[in-house]
């Protein structure tokens, strides 16, 4: 029996306001201290003070906390934590600093540290409503509904005009099937700000769960009319259509969400359930893979639930083939993109990919799909074909050589027809690494992605920056693949890989092709050796890096030997 589609709302957490003394009009210090000031002006004033080294003690803690919040808004959580920790050292009693650092910890998946900061802030100021709300969000993500409800109620009691407390309590009441209580909370939120989009967005799903579909669609439609590319609202409406049983309308909305963001976990998970209802199991598995193995350090509640369902259903639908040859069935997809149409071509990748494909054939891979110079459509076709092969296999390996880079925390591989005029085009012009990882996800034992693609971003000189996100012009960012996956970069995150000179293969592909053929070298050890070989061959200019590992209770060899 299919599991009911997940309840999907935004559970919002609040960044912290900053502690302040009485403002003194007319100078940077007054503006930096002023919690009512516009954030850009306040951030500028605080930066001026910090850069000129004009503040110390508690005033410096305030300025650093503003800087930390700016970093959080840019999703630069690692540096935010460092900055906020410095601020907390200067003023350990600043509850706003503690709350902000808790939020940064939460966004990096460190819930224990986040809870410690929220608890400490509440010990110092029990009437501070924001940490109650933020703590409640963590409780809710972990399924502790009553604890979440209690925290949201305390948030409202401490700060009655705190809108997020009301909308989040409505959310948890919906999950507890207290629909009347949820609708009452939304009504209170409307008294605070009738235009807040999280009211209509969340209430849409509450009405859907109540079976009041006309009211649900009125909320979702109103939000989508104002914001036609609001993927969250489009997914919510798709979920309500699914609840109602209108599968065609639901499919249209899921497809729209994926056109806007091809890597959207909720849309893939929802569409997978829809295809499973339609008995199209191959397409359902493809969507579940895309949702289950996407790479994010932090999942909002609705995303976490969608991913969990995708993982559960993928496991249930993945064919299990017992027995087989002692070494198991091994398949590979090898891609070399060099003939780029809109940026400089790369002569090496097609040659490197041919070398690796030949070696994998030689060491006994039953299927090696080799492709060069793929457009985006052909790239996705190749991944879909390979994912079907991976389902029937013990090993699934993808090797990619070509352009690749990171934008806004997402790693992308670049098809030969990509044309990125702006950073936001990456989602629709390139191929996210998570899609490649999803393609190997159904293999039973070894799930390996090898990327000889850590080069300069060729679009960087002309790319328009429209996103308030960190842009990495060189190579990929570091990742955290799930259990049982290996992702190998030809160069460490943030660095570039070297192409071969005068028609020679790249240092990475040369070392990899040589070491793969060595018998009785366990796969983890093999990539350590490749790293050392490349490090030496490039005179310490390039260092490959491996993330994740295959299952730990078994050794794996490209060539088993005697």
Closest listed residue to residue 348, CA positions, set 339, 359, 360, 358: 339
437 vs 186, 344, 401, 448, CA distance in Å?
A: 40, 27, 15, 8
pLDDT tens digits, 474-497: 556 556 676 678 999 988 766 666
**And the tokens for 248?**
């065609």
**b/e burial code for range 158-172 (CB count within 10 A of at least 16 → b):** bbeebbbbbbbbbbb
**Positive or negative: CA dihedral 119, 120, 123, 125:** negative
Give residue 540's pLDDT: 84
Cα 292 to Cα 435: distance, rounded to the nearest angstrom:
10
Say if residues 274 and 242 touch (Cβ distance below 8 Å): yes
Domain locations along the chain: 28-199, 217-317, 330-548
CA distance 60 to 459: 39
Q: Give the number of other CB atoms < 10 A from CB of residue 85.
A: 14
DSSP 37: S
> What topology does CATH give the domain 28-199?
1.25.40
Provide the CB-side half-sphere exposure for 203 (13 A, CA): 26
DSSP 423: G
pLDDT given for residue 109 in this prediction: 81
Give the 3-state secondary structure of residue 471: strand
What whole-number distance in Å separates Cα of residue 29 and Cα of residue 279?
64
Q: What is the pLDDT of residue 296?
A: 64
Q: What is the pLDDT of residue 225?
A: 95
Tell me how far CA of residue 315 lies from CA of 38, 253, 309, in angstroms.
49, 26, 10
**E strand or H helix at 359, and its extent?**
helix 348-362
The CATH code of the domain at 217-317 is 1.25.40.10
> Chain-centre distance of CA 192, in angstroms?
32
Q: What is the chain's mean pLDDT, rounded?
A: 86
Tokens representing residue 208 in the block: 């859907």
Q: What pLDDT score was predicted for residue 501?
A: 52
What's the confidence (pLDDT) of residue 323? Answer: 41
* Residue 75: per-residue pLDDT: 83
- In the CATH scheme, what architecture does the domain 330-548 have? 3-Layer(aba) Sandwich (3.40)
Pick the closest to residue 404 from 319, 331, 346 (CA basis).
346
Integer CA distances (angstroms), 478 to 296, 487, 495, 531, 549, in order: 11, 10, 11, 16, 15
- The encoded tokens of residue 531 equal 């790293």
Give the pair of three-digit tokens for residue 34.
């002023």
Token pair belonging to 4:
């009911």
- The residue behind tokens 């605070």 is 192
The token pair at 501 is 């000179």
CA–CA distance, 290 with 294 (Å, rounded to integer): 6
From first to last of the 562 residues of the chain, give the pLDDT tens digit: 344 444 444 445 554 433 333 334 348 999 999 988 888 899 999 999 999 999 999 999 999 999 999 999 888 888 999 999 999 999 999 999 999 999 999 988 888 999 999 999 999 999 999 999 999 999 988 888 999 999 999 999 999 999 999 999 999 999 999 999 999 999 999 999 999 999 999 999 999 999 999 999 999 999 999 999 999 999 999 999 999 999 999 999 999 999 888 888 999 999 999 999 999 988 898 888 888 877 665 667 788 888 889 888 988 887 654 443 445 899 999 999 999 998 888 988 999 999 999 999 999 999 999 999 999 999 999 999 999 899 889 999 999 999 988 876 778 899 999 988 887 788 888 998 988 998 998 888 899 999 998 666 777 777 777 654 444 445 565 566 766 789 999 887 666 667 655 556 789 999 999 999 998 899 999 999 999 999 998 888 888 988 888 887 788 999 986 5
H helices present in 363-418, as ranges: 376-391
Predicted local distance difference test score (pLDDT) of residue 20: 36
Q: Among all chains, which residue has been given the structure tokens 């209430």? A: 203
DSSP string, 138-206: HHHHTT-HHHHHHHHHHHHHH-TT-HHHHHHHHHHHHHTT-HHHHHHHHHHHHHH-TT-HHHHHHHHHH
Are the C-beta atoms of residues 105 and 117 closer than 8 Å to each other? yes
Q: Which two tokens stand for residue 12?
A: 């919002």
What three-state secondary structure class fits 336?
strand
- What is the distance between the alpha carbons of residues 212 and 209, in angstroms, rounded to a whole number? 8
Q: In what order do the strands lie in the sheet with 404-407?
A: 431-432, 410-413, 404-407, 471-472
Where do runs of H (alpha helix) occur along 211-300?
213-226, 231-244, 247-260, 265-277, 281-292
What pLDDT shows up at residue 45? 95
What's the rounded Cα separation, in Å, for the pair 10 and 266?
12
Two domains, one topology: 28-199 and 217-317? yes
How far is it, in rounded angstroms, from Cα 42 to Cα 428?
35
Using CA atoms, how far apart are residues 451 and 444, in angstroms rounded to an integer?
21
Q: How far are the Cα atoms of 36, 45, 63, 470 from residue 22, in angstroms, in the given order?
A: 11, 16, 15, 34
Which pairs count as long-range contacts for 492-499, CB under 8 Å and 24+ apart, including other chains? 492/454, 492/543, 492/544, 492/545, 493/454, 493/545, 495/454, 495/542, 495/543, 496/454, 496/455, 496/456, 496/542, 497/452, 497/453, 497/454, 497/455, 497/542, 498/538, 498/541, 498/542, 499/346, 499/347, 499/348
Q: For the chain, how many residues are written? A: 562
Would you state the pLDDT for residue 10?
43
Mapped onto helix, strand or coil, the DSSP state of residue 330 is strand
């Amino acid at each position: 029996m299919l599991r009911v589609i997940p309840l999907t709302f935004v559970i919002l957490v609040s960044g912290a306001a900053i502690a302040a003394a009485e403002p003194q009009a007319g100078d940077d210090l007054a503006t930096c201290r002023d919690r009512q000031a516009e954030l850009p002006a306040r951030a500028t004033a605080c930066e001026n003070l910090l850069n000129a080294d004009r503040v110390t003690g508690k005033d410096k803690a305030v300025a650093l906390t503003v800087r930390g919040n700016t970093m959080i808004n840019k999703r630069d959580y690692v540096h935010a934590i460092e900055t906020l920790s410095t601020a907390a050292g200067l003023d350990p009693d600043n509850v706003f600093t503690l709350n902000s650092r808790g939020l940064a910890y939460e966004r990096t998946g460190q819930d224990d540290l986040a809870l410690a900061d929220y608890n400490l802030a509440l010990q110092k100021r029990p009437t501070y409503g924001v940490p109650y709300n933020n703590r409640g969000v963590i409780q809710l993500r972990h399924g502790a509904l009553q604890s979440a409800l209690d925290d949201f109620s305390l948030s409202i009691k401490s700060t009655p005009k705190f809108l997020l407390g009301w909308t989040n309590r409505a959310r948890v009441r919906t999950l507890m099937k207290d629909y009347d209580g949820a609708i009452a909370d939304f009504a209170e939120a409307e008294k605070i700000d009738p235009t807040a989009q999280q009211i209509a967005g969340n209430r849409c799903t509450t009405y859907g769960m109540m079976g009041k579909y006309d009211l649900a669609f009125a909320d979702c439609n109103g939000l989508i009319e104002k914001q036609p590319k609001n993927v969250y609202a489009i997914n919510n409406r798709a979920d309500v259509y699914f609840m109602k049983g209108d599968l065609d309308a639901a499919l249209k909305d899921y497809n729209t969400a994926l056109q806007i963001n091809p890597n959207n976990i909720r849309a893939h998970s929802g569409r997978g359930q829809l295809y499973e209802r339609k008995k199209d199991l191959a397409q359902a598995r493809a969507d579940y893979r895309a949702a289950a193995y996407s790479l994010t350090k932090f999942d909002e509640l609705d995303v976490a639930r969608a991913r969990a369902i995708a993982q559960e259903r993928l496991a249930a639908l993945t064919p299990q083939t017992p027995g087989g040859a002692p070494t198991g069935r091994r398949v590979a997809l090898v891609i070399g993109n060099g003939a780029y149409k809109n940026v400089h071509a790369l002569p090496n990748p097609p040659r490197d990919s041919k070398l690796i494909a030949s070696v994998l054939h030689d060491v006994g891979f039953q299927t090696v799909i080799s492709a060069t110079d793929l457009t985006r459509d052909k790239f996705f076709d190749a991944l879909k074909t390979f994912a079907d092969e991976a389902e029937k296999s013990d090993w699934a390996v993808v090797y990619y050589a070509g352009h690749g880079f990171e934008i806004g925390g997402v790693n992308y591989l670049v098809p030969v027809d990509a044309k990125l005029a702006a950073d936001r085009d990456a989602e629709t012009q390139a191929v996210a690494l998570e899609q490649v990882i999803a393609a190997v996800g159904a293999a039973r034992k070894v799930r390996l992605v090898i990327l000889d693609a850590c080069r300069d971003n060729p679009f960087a000189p002309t790319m328009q920056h429209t996103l308030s996100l960190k842009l990495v012009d060189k190579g990929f960012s570091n990742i955290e693949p799930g259990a049982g996956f290996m992702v190998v970069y030809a160069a460490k995150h943030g660095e570039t890989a070297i192409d071969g000179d005068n028609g020679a293969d790249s240092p990475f592909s040369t070392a990899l092709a040589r070491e793969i053929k060595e018998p009785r070298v366990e796969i983890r050890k093999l990539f350590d050796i490749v790293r050392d070989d490349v490090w030496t061959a490039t005179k310490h200019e390039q260092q490959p890096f491996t993330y994740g590992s295959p299952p730990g209770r078994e050794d794996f060899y490209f060539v088993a030997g005697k």
